[in-house]
């Protein structure tokens, strides 16, 4: 699935969509904490 968004910021922007999709499709393992600046996880697809 590829998702295109017309803007970067805002509730429907790329940053918000990426964060929401990452939580649903590639969640953190139970008990693992992450730095809030970390954007990519093992298993994420990057183009």
Query: Do 14 and 8 meet the contact criterion of CB atoms below 8 Å apart?
Result: yes
Q: How confident is the model at residue 19 (pLDDT cuts 50, 70, 90)?
A: confident
Q: Based on the structure, what is the number of domains in the chain?
A: 1
∠ CA(44), CA(45), CA(47), 5° rounding?
140
Question: 21-32, pLDDT tens digit by residue?
Answer: 888 988 888 877
Indicate if the pLDDT at residue 1 is higher than 80. no
Domain boundaries, position 20: 1-47
Q: How confident is the model at residue 10 (pLDDT cuts 50, 70, 90)?
A: very high
What does 1-18 look like in DSSP terms, one character per residue? -----S-SSSTTSHHHHH
Indicate if the pLDDT at residue 18 is higher than 70. yes
pTM exceeding 0.85 = no
The dihedral sign for the CA sequence 1, 4, 46, 23: negative
Query: Do 15 and 8 meet the contact criterion of CB atoms below 8 Å apart?
Result: yes
């Amino acid at each position: 699935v590829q998702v295109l968004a017309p803007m970067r910021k805002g509730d429907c922007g790329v940053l918000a969509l990426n964060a929401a999709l990452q939580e649903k499709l590639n969640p953190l393992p139970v008990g693992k904490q992450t730095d809030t600046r970390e954007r990519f996880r093992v298993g994420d697809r990057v183009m």
